[in-house]
Amino acid sequence: MKILVTGGAGFIGGNFVQYMVNKYPEDTIVNLDLLTYAGNLETCKSIENKENYKFIQGDIADRKFIFDLFEKEKFDIVVNFAAESHVDRSIESPESFVRTNVNGTTTLLDACNTYGIKRYHQISTDEVYGDLPLDRLDLFFTEETPINPSSPYSSSKAAADLFVLAYHRTYGLPVTISRCSNNYGPYHFPEKLIPLIISRALADKNVPIYGDGKNVRDWLHVYDHCEAIDLIIRKGKVGEIYNIGGHNERSNLEVVKNILGILGKSESLIKYVEDRKGHDLRYAIDPTKIESELGWKPKYSFETGIKHTIEWYLNNEDWWKNIISGEYKKYLEKMYKNI
Ligand code: NAD
Ligand code: TYD
């Protein structure tokens, strides 16, 4: 089988292409990525010379390029990770989120319709459901929870999901969608909470917590996410949505204190900063459907996963130090200039 993975030089896509190339030597994995600020070919270094792997630089929203590629390559499966993914950037400038997340997705869907595929899988997010209140721990996102996104990022992802479902209903395109909770693990870009805290704490810099730090995220190790996607594209039912999460809810403050504790750093590094606009309070996934229908179970608890992740950042300083010293430095200086 020939599998197109878009966004495979990013965090989750990069972990997924490595997983697929190593697990399925008989399949060909084509990694298509525009290499925006978030894309990094160093992430795919371990597989770059494998015979069943190919990298192509390109834009999922470039119609002519995508149609030419599909005509030439004749993909069996498409897994779309490519996206603008950072909520804070979407608040500053939403336009690129519409272009990549919405127009890029519909361009891929049109190419799938025109050239035919066996399966199109959309990597979505639990953020399309909006948020849950902090004082209702009995509430979880199920696949039936109405979408109600809060940020320009989650709105663009929700719009994309609606197009994916419409292409199934209208044209019979064989699609699936997965909505996962917050991921963490190797190759996570240091603008996101966990790698930002690890990299700043290691440099004895203040670590920023938005608002009062009580917002809750439901953390899943990226390897568990990769296994879930693999199961869905092989065994998931066409037209269905699958939520992915492992019941690892933590407040931001708990996460930050946990990381500082493991690194042996003082909690005095914590700096409370202005809250994010429209900051979602709590995300929490009910994974009953993927567990009961596909037999998926996460392998990592947050305790083992966060230790593994911190070890990875300690052993792979070159990967993240190169990012921090490059173009991204300007973003960090702008975002966190007062702390
Ligand atoms: P990321 O920002 O690390 O990676 C995105 C990748 O997409 C980058 O390599 C970038 O170069 C590429 N890209 C961006 N625009 C492109 C375009 N127009 N054409 C081709 N490539 C383009 O993101 P991530 O955290 O790995 O997230 C991957 C997917 O998973 C996204 O769709 C995101 O919405 C979803 N998701 C992320 C999380 C999370 O916690 N990170 C949780 C649930 C779902
Ligand atoms: P983030 O990693 O950006 O993921 P998302 O917004 O998709 O959940 O943020 C995770 C949580 O951490 C979120 O509640 C915002 C918060 N946060 C901080 O408190 N400080 C920071 O510097 C960042 C980047 C995030």
Verify whether ligand 1 is closer than 6 Å to residue 33 (CB atom). Answer: yes
* Ligand 1, atom 32: closest residue by C-alpha: 81
pTM equals 0.98
Please name the residue ranges forming H helices in the chain: 11-23, 63-73, 87-92, 95-97, 105-115, 152-171, 193-202, 222-235, 252-263, 288-294, 302-315, 317-325, 328-335
Q: Which CATH superfamily groups domain 2-184+219-244?
A: NAD(P)-binding Rossmann-like Domain (3.40.50.720)
Atom of ligand 1 nearest to the CA of 192: 41
Catalytic residue among 33, 59, 127, 224: 127
Coil, helix or strand at residue 240 = coil
pLDDT at 328: 82
Question: Which ligand is located closest to the Cα atom of residue 44?
Answer: 1
pLDDT at 79: 99
pLDDT at 125: 99
pLDDT at 129: 99
> Which of 58, 57, 70, 76 is CA-nearest to residue 121?
76
> Which of 276, 248, 255, 251 is CA-nearest to residue 207?
255
Verify whether ligand 1 is closer than 6 Å to residue 87 (CB atom). Answer: no
Catalytic residue among 33, 59, 110, 126: 126
pLDDT at 338: 78
- Across the 339 residues of the chain, what is the mean pLDDT of every consecutive 10-residue run? 98 98 98 97 97 98 98 98 98 98 99 98 99 98 98 99 98 98 97 97 98 98 98 98 98 98 98 98 98 98 98 97 86 83
Q: Is the CB of residue 13 less than 8 Å from the CB of residue 7? A: yes
Atom of ligand 1 nearest to the CA of 13: 26
pLDDT at 329: 81
Question: Which ligand is located closest to the Cα atom of residue 90?
Answer: 2
pLDDT at 332: 81
Q: Is the CB of residue 53 less than 8 Å from the CB of residue 47? A: yes
Would you call 331 a catalytic residue per the annotation? no
Question: Which ligand is located closest to the Cα atom of residue 245?
Answer: 1
Cα separation, 154 vs 302, in Å, equals: 24
